[in-house]
Structure 1
Amino acid sequence: MKAGTKIKKLVFLWTTGVLLTASLMAQDPQFTQFFANKLYLAPSFAGATKQQRIVSMYRNQWAGIPGGFNTMSFSYEYFFPNFNSGLGVLVLRDMAGSGRLGMTNVGVLYSYDFQIFEEWHVRPGLHFLYSMYGIDFYRLRFYDQLVTGNGTTFEDPPAQENIGAFDASTSVLIYSKSVWAGAAVDHLFRPDQSFYANKAIIPMKFSFFGGFQIIRQGKLLKPIDETVSLAYLFRLQQNKKQLDIGLYWNKVPLVLGFWYRGIPPFNSERGDALAMLVGFKMKGFSIGYSYDFTISNLVSSTHGAHEISLSLDFQTNRKKKIHAIPCPEF
């Protein structure tokens, strides 16, 4: 291998490692289909279903980079109509990099629904969880190992490779038949995720989301069978900002979606990704696939992101009228 090629490879690996580390330290796992994973978005969505819902998701981000990011989640929620309350359980697993830097969250969520005007409802929510972090230090590759080529490093291994901490989040959601908006605050306990003596406090994350149905069409005395919705999600975590905004078209059973993701234009000339979704939504069942086209400076090496969602929604008690939130299933 030529010296120039070696240097290019070293620079690429080093840059990739820095980017991966910076992303891990600054941001939580994210989902393109954020409304498919509603419990992860905000605890106010717990129980916002006909009565019971099971959701499973998988995301493979930056498949072109060794290690990449792999995120999986599973949730179950139940609505108690006699108490206008929803309960949920959310499990999330995130793995990143060749060092198998991993995080597992296990949490319980609660929300309460009450009416404020004739067509408007409010849902506050709470989420309590336990987070576990782990790393395989001896699978990591450091810069000095690449330079010397002898496989040894001067970096000290952590005192413990597995740590844990409690955390919490809260949110509020307001909605009508065609409009919804909400806000969530995550990491209220600001847990420490450091494997060493120095602290690495996770900063609080603020999320603002919402949207409205531009078009609602259906035949007389029959359910709405076609909608066009505009939706957005803005996140702020320390000095990191990100905006997701897009359109959904749903003509039963087909769902198509298109998003832009990036930092607001006044902070960056280029966004992070463009995403497209295709999904199928039938009675009590929906499945969706989305792909992120990276448009940042990493476009040639990341290979974007793949995401799959699966949802089962079923009702066992039909006596109580359900106030449905009009946001998309994906």
Structure 2
Amino acid sequence: MFKKPLLLSVLISCVSFAFAQQRPQYTQYIFNNFLLNPAVTGIENYTDVKLGYRSQWTGLEGAPVTAYFSINAPLGTNFTEGDATAFPASGGENPYSRSYLRDYRAAEPHHGIGFTLVTDKAGPIDQTNVAATYAYHLGITEKLNLAVGVSAGFNHLYLNTSLITLENQDDPALRNINNNQWKPDAGFGVWAYGGNYYVGVSAQQIIPQNQYITTGNNSNLSKTVPHYFLTAGYKLYLSDDVTLLPSALLKFIKPTPTTFDINMKMSFRDKFWIGGSFRKDDSFGVLAGFNLSSLVNVSYSYDITTSALRTVSNGSHELVLGILLNNRYKLSSPQHGW
């Protein structure tokens, strides 16, 4: 029999698996859709680096903790040295202005490459995902771009049996367990975007795996399932300096019911923004961020739990640091990530 603290950790892991998703959950994916869709790779005309940390259901022992590093960049002389989004070297006009939208035209065809490293710990289970990404962007009309992307890498799952304390230390459940595995992983996505909107579809974890962790008698403790995402966003101008950015995300992860997120961000020129989010049967979130310079931006979100865990959870915190490398036009705000 499990001791009480460990049992709580295992239950948290099971809840995370059963009611959310096998992959980590984010609130600030709306500012880094690259985490969910490889077609976003190379969408900006600079090298986009992000470092993120999320502590979910704080106050609960064994609750999920996620950290990630992501980087992606465009490839192609026509794109990086001059396209519809290429401003004069002095920085040019505010990218949120109406004239930018009026004069917008689709980007020159170009490639994008990227890399992600994500670690997620929930109770005694540690998961690490490493992936390289590639995307190709093509202007299919004068103002519409279409990108197709793929990701490929490995997923590592480790069950820390030292955290499992049993009354019977020779319990058959842990005898000869394969608790340290690497599995191949892949995903794909499509991203259509213009000057003030985007629509994307993607799939993660598409290589079927019979099990992550197995005992000697081949009983399955968990199986991988594909994760499918459909997302869209639109930019609404309240003035040349203030914009509303509503967006939504649908998640399809069998056998759990289809769920969705709804988000709203209000941006003030290219200096700072505030926003909110709603995740069905899970949480409400408040978000805020600052574009400190043409090199660094930072954002924070806090989720208020609305699920059955609300009586024992102090909510979830997420912090993201963004770095804009090779930013030759000195932009202080993304043009396509908003």
TM-score range, shorter chain: 0.7 to 0.9
Amino acid at match of 1:276: V
Alignment-mate amino acid for residue 213 of structure 2: S
1:39 has 2:65 as partner: no
Equivalent in the alignment of 1:234: 250
Alignment of 1:1-330 (within 5 A): 17-24=10-17, 26-82=21-77, 84-97=110-123, 99=124, 101-141=125-165, 145=166, 150=167, 152=169, 154-157=171-174, 158-191=176-209, 192-196=211-215, 197-199=218-220, 200-215=222-237, 217-218=239-240, 225-240=241-256, 241-251=258-268, 252-262=270-280, 271-282=281-292, 283-315=294-326, 326-328=336-338
**Helix, strand or coil for the counterpart of 1:68?**
coil
The code of the aligned residue for 2:111 comes to S
1:246 maps to a residue whose letter is N
Give structure 1 regions of 4+ aligned residues with deviation exceeding 4 angstroms.
12-16, 150-153
Query: Number of matched residues?
Result: 291
Q: Is the 8 A contact 1:122 1:174 kept in 2?
A: yes
Q: Which SS does the other structure have where 2:35 is aligned?
A: helix
Q: Deviations over 1:13-56 (max 9, x none)?
A: 75764353142365311110012333211001111122211110
RMSD of the TM alignment (CA)?
2.3
Alpha-carbon shift at residue 287 of structure 1 (Å):
0.4
| Percent of residue pairs bearing the same amino acid type | 22
Report the Cα offset of residue 178 of structure 1: 0.8
Provide the secondary structure at the position in 1 that maps to 2:16: helix
- TM-score normalised to structure 1 length: 0.81
One-letter amino acid matched to 1:168 = A
- Counterpart Cα distance in 1 of 2:255 and 2:16: 12
Compared CA separation, residues 132 and 14, structure 1 to 2 (3 A): closer
| Structure 2 residue identity aligned to 1:195 | T
SS at match of 2:49: strand
Is the Cα contact below 8 Å between 2:57 and 2:305 reproduced in 1?
Answer: no
Cα gap change, 1:316 to 1:28, in 2 (>3 Å):
closer
Q: Secondary structure at the match of 2:42?
A: coil
Q: How far 1:172 moved relative to its partner?
A: 0.1
Distance 2:181 2:47 in 1: 33
The gaps in structure 1 that reach 5 residues or longer are 1-8, 219-224, 263-270, 319-323
Kindly provide the amino acid, as one letter, of the partner of residue 204 in structure 1.
P
Please name the residue that 2:82 is paired with: none
Please tell me whether the aligned partners of residues 52 and 313 of structure 1 are also in contact (alpha carbons under 8 angstroms). yes
Q: Which has the higher contact order (CA 8 A, sep 6+)?
A: 2
Q: After alignment, is 37-46 or 152-161 more displaced?
A: 152-161
1:153 Cα shift?
Answer: 7.0
> 2-side partners of 1:325 and 1:140: how far apart?
48
| C-alpha displacement of 1:242 | 2.2
User: In the TM superposition, what is the alpha-carbon distance from 1:325 to its structure 2 partner?
Assistant: 5.4
Unaligned residue ranges in structure 2 (runs of 5+): 78-108
Task: Give, in angstroms, the shift of residue 105 of structure 1.
Answer: 0.9
Shift of 1:285: 2.1
Equivalents in 2 of 1:136, 1:248: separation in Å? 40
Q: Structure 1 residues 280, 295: closer, same or farther in 2, change over 3 A?
A: same
Tell me the CA shift for residue 249 of structure 1. Answer: 0.5
8 A contact 1:180–1:327 mirrored in 2: no
SS of aligned partner of 1:31: coil
Q: Is the 8 A contact 1:84 1:113 kept in 2?
A: yes
Query: 1:267 maps to what in 2?
Result: none
